[in-house]
Structure 1
Amino acid sequence: MSINYKINEYLDEYIKLWPFSGAILVVNNGQVIFNKSYGMASIEHGAANTTKTKYKIASLTKQITCMAIMILKEKGLLNVYDSLKKFFPDYPELDERITIHHLMTHTSGLCSEFSVVDPYLMLGKRLYTHAEVFDLFKDMPLEFEPGEGWSYCYFGYYLLGVIIERISGKSYIEFLKDNIFKPLGMNNTGLDDYIEILPNKASGYYVSSENLVCSEIDTMSVFSAGAIYSTIEDMLLWDKSLCCEKLVSKETMNEIFTPYKEYYGYGWVIDKKNNRKRVHHSGGGSGFSHQFHRYIDDKVTILVLSNYGFSNSLNINENIAKIVFDEECCIPSKPIKFDLDLNVYDSYVGIYQKEDFKLEVKRDEDKLYFIQSNKWVMPIFPISESTFHHTWIDQEYTFEKNIKGEVYFVGIKKRTN
């Protein structure tokens, strides 16, 4: 039985149980062994997803931004240990100890929390200029000393895009087109501009209660941290370029794939999965959910792009890897409902809030659910005394108690008042 057949069989069973929309690509030793699209790019217009569908790739953008930085490095135009002061003399607020290396590895200490500087998420509702983004972040105190900690940081990657522009004398997207996309033939990849009419563009969808809902967030102001769109075909070309020296030298590629703090390299997480070296990254938000995994020693790539922001793309990706490597892979199934004492559930009911991110756990007789950010209703059912599963999507949620008896839901502490 071929790998293609086994993957197809697994996904057919998975989709019978859980909704999925998007594209899945598997490459083994340079050969495409699976490439299939599912669902609708636009439910409103009845347009199906195809290999030419353009997806917002969100944080998969970061690896492309880092490649652009390393191209500039090889041209002798910058050093990854250059201070930010070299590129932003007009912003004395930026700490001179922070380097490009810190930005690429999320170790700068710069403010990383959107809700602190943008409580109403206006960054996703209109196009901000560089100056306006800087004004939001520049005066925020460091979360830790540069190089001493790790925190996933949008602003750091935004700064990388501005550095590319200031050094090259071109716009961020012009530099990418001239130095990455055109040389690789990635003709259907670009910077998502919400006012541009873009053929074959996928819409992003979320879920609330029993309904699919459209994403209302635009990604243009995320810029070099997550505003690129691409297709499954173009991402295949990108993947192939990472196996050779099409864009940069082997030495530079090794630098990109070197793990620093929290196993993070330059736009990639570098770790091991089942004793196999893996470089990977996720991309999510604005109604999309992606997982790009490369087992570089085994020459295997698995890419899952989805325009359902609630898709469990990680689970899909890792189960496909088990199939490719002939490891045990469970047949997709729905968990069995646990007979939970509702008094236990009532001990979980309440508000869980971290800064401006809010979850409210509620019960209406035997209906159990939580509400995210006062608008997204998530119906759940118990599969153990502390773990719950979404009613119709492939997602689990867990309650925990510490030694003080304080309750946490998905890592957020329950309010006591």
Structure 2
Amino acid sequence: MQTIIRIIIASVLFFTFKLNGQNNYNFNTKLTEYLSVQNERINFNGVVLVANSKEILYQRAIGFSSLENKTPLTVGSKFKIASISKSFTGMLVALAVKEGKLKLEDKIKQYFNECTLREKWDEITIQHLISHTSGIPHWKGYKDYWTIKSRLPLNTKQVLTDIFKMDLVFIPGKKVNYSSPAYFLLAVILQKVYGDTYDGILNKKIFKPLKLDNTGAYNDLSIIPKMTSGYHLLPNDSLIVAPYRSSSALKGSGSLYASAKDLLKWNRSLMNDSIWNSELKQSLFNPITDHLMPHNNKAQYGMGWYIHNKKNDRLKSYQASGGTFGYSSISVVYPERKLTLIVLSNISFLPMHSIWSDMEKIILEKPFKLPTIINSSLISIKSLEKFIGTYRASNNMQLKILEHQGKLFAKLGSKPPFRIYTESHSVFFGKKVGVRFTFNVLSDNKTVTGLKTEGKGKEFKFKKL
């Protein structure tokens, strides 16, 4: 029955298109069926758009803008894009440098007197802020953020007061630590040098020139036409209405919303030469720090963009992604092909990097095996017993596989367990974590010696104890 449903969805969504002058029937069908499978596997709900510098090659909406009202998503639906917002802030900083409004080496103490009151804060430069090398913590270091402050309508002064109370996690410039509060400071600096609001600067410098009519700064009170409702995927794989999070502390780092077509205009402006000159774009996409980003496959970092250099069979790419309660997103530009992939979802937090990797293989017509699903009810509890136990990796990382009410769960270290689903008789996957578990089963089909995990660009091997 599930196969029939996928075929129906694929048939409804099917259309033909051209990539590099060729009729790519397989690309279309594979990507369409992949979306329907992921809708079933991990509750993927969203919009996907693939284009080159001249034409849209693929665009599809799958799922609902409102699950309560069963309102379908459209390719014009709007989503919070979270940290993709940093790519816009990066451009504003690059423009300010070009216009002589500021310099990357400027110390931020010239904009904030508070910096002189805290140790090492007076050493932070604008370049440190934009490259995540300032030492300013992410939200974990913002006192009471997740328990209290993220729910409050704070003004700029209140957010700044909270930021300047934080202790630096290292001496500025010495290491890298992803920091959204650092981008809030960038937004405030831009306001100071331009004498305008952050939203106003965006409108004047980017939104109006590019005619981004479906992009803007999200606030918690305005009714935004075509704005999707946000939903959150729990560890038990059920969906709930996304928890509330105030946008007040997200200025510069994660406050924007957009449609996929507007992000296409934005990405195309960076692939073509009609709007921004090559020197400006070079400043965006040249590494702004020698430090690699450990949380993103050791990518380099430009102004708001991750830079993934060509490696093995993967093309060079510039990537921005975002995640907040109710939304997951990723935007990728392949400069050598002048190709872009945009994925927006109103479900948090989906494994977007795994989805990106899969879609990239399909789009570039590389070997790719479509994920499959086996009806778990057909798997007996007895056949699951062989997987139960404790597994240890060479780095002493410990993983437990547990069984509860005929279902398998994985538990890594002290983290809470999450359910894993059957892909084949020896392969399982976790919906939210985006990790595949492949068990080593001997020919007797009873003995398991270990397992391999794959996900987020990493692979680990475990021995069963």
1:379 corresponds to 2:419:
yes
Give the 3 Å change call, closer, same or farther, for CA 154–300 of structure 1 in structure 2: same
The answer for the alignment partner of 2:442 in structure 1 is none
Matched residue of 1:276: which SS? Answer: coil
The answer for the alignment partner of 1:266 in structure 2 is 303
The answer for the alignment partner of 2:353 in structure 1 is 314
Supply the distance in 2 between the matched residues of 1:370 and 1:343 (Cα, whole angstroms).
9
Select which of 251, 260, 281 maps to 1:223: 251
Give the 3 Å change call, closer, same or farther, for CA 256–129 of structure 1 in structure 2: same
Q: Which has the higher contact order (CA 8 A, sep 6+)?
A: 1
Matched residue of 2:347: which SS? Answer: coil
Unaligned runs of 5+ in 1: 353-359, 399-409, 412-417
Select which of 320, 332, 346 maps to 1:293: 332
CA contact (8 A) 2:388 2:402 kept: no
Alignment of 1:25-40 (within 5 A): 25-40=49-64
Q: AA paired with 1:213?
A: I
The answer for the alignment partner of 2:71 in structure 1 is 47
Select between 309-318 and 100-109 the one with higher mean Cα deviation.
309-318
Matched residue of 1:267: which SS? Answer: coil
- Per-residue CA deviations over 1:159-204 (Å, capped at 9, x if unaligned) read 0111111111111001100111011000111111111011110111
Q: How far is 1:70 from its partner?
A: 1.2
Q: How far is 1:135 from its partner?
A: 2.4
Give the 3 Å change call, closer, same or farther, for CA 184–229 of structure 1 in structure 2: same
Supply the distance in 1 between the matched residues of 2:90 and 2:264 (Cα, whole angstroms).
18
Supply the distance in 1 between the matched residues of 2:370 and 2:408 (Cα, whole angstroms).
27
Give the 3 Å change call, closer, same or farther, for CA 184–254 of structure 1 in structure 2: same
Select between 112-121 and 81-90 the one with higher mean Cα deviation.
112-121
Select which of 150, 153, 158 maps to 1:124: 150
Q: AA paired with 1:264?
A: Y
Q: How far is 1:322 from its partner?
A: 2.1
- Per-residue CA deviations over 1:368-414 (Å, capped at 9, x if unaligned) read 44799xxx984235889x99632x5672278xxxxxxxxxxx99xxx
TM-score normalised to structure 1 length = 0.83
Give the 3 Å change call, closer, same or farther, for CA 362–83 of structure 1 in structure 2: farther
Give the length in aligned residue pairs: 390
Q: How far is 1:339 from its partner?
A: 4.3
The answer for the alignment partner of 1:344 in structure 2 is 389
Supply the distance in 2 between the matched residues of 1:214 and 1:370 (Cα, whole angstroms).
25
- Per-residue CA deviations over 1:62-93 (Å, capped at 9, x if unaligned) read 00011111111111110111110121125433
Q: AA paired with 2:259?
A: T
The answer for the alignment partner of 1:181 in structure 2 is 207
Matched residue of 1:92: which SS? Answer: helix
The answer for the alignment partner of 1:11 in structure 2 is 31
Alignment of 1:267-282 (within 5 A): 267-271=304-308, 272-273=310-311, 274-282=313-321
1:67 corresponds to 2:91:
yes
- Residue identity (%): 28
Larger radius of gyration: 2
Select which of 224, 229, 243 maps to 2:271: 243
Q: How far is 1:314 from its partner?
A: 2.4
Matched residue of 1:117: which SS? Answer: coil
- Per-residue CA deviations over 1:47-75 (Å, capped at 9, x if unaligned) read 22112211000000000011111111111
Supply the distance in 2 between the matched residues of 1:286 and 1:317 (Cα, whole angstroms).
20
Matched residue of 1:220: which SS? Answer: coil
The answer for the alignment partner of 1:401 in structure 2 is none
1:213 corresponds to 2:252:
no
Give the 3 Å change call, closer, same or farther, for CA 370–165 of structure 1 in structure 2: farther
Alignment of 1:71-150 (within 5 A): 71-93=95-117, 95-114=121-140, 117-118=143-144, 120-150=146-176
1:234 corresponds to 2:271:
no
Supply the distance in 2 between the matched residues of 1:362 and 1:326 (Cα, whole angstroms).
38
RMSD: 3.5
Unaligned runs of 5+ in 2: 1-15, 293-299, 438-454, 459-465
Q: How far is 1:290 from its partner?
A: 1.1
Matched residue of 2:162: which SS? Answer: helix
The answer for the alignment partner of 2:48 in structure 1 is 24
Supply the distance in 2 between the matched residues of 1:214 and 1:361 (Cα, whole angstroms).
29
1:283 corresponds to 2:326:
no
Alignment of 1:345-364 (within 5 A): 345=390, 364=404
Matched residue of 2:348: which SS? Answer: coil
CA contact (8 A) 2:231 2:326 kept: yes
CA contact (8 A) 1:244 1:250 kept: no
Supply the distance in 2 between the matched residues of 1:346 and 1:269 (Cα, whole angstroms).
34
Q: AA paired with 2:370?
A: I
CA contact (8 A) 1:41 1:53 kept: yes
Supply the distance in 2 between the matched residues of 1:214 and 1:344 (Cα, whole angstroms).
35
The answer for the alignment partner of 2:11 in structure 1 is none
Q: How far is 1:107 from its partner?
A: 0.6
Give the 3 Å change call, closer, same or farther, for CA 217–331 of structure 1 in structure 2: same
CA contact (8 A) 1:194 1:220 kept: yes
- Per-residue CA deviations over 1:238-259 (Å, capped at 9, x if unaligned) read 0111123555431121121112
Matched residue of 1:114: which SS? Answer: helix
Matched residue of 2:49: which SS? Answer: strand
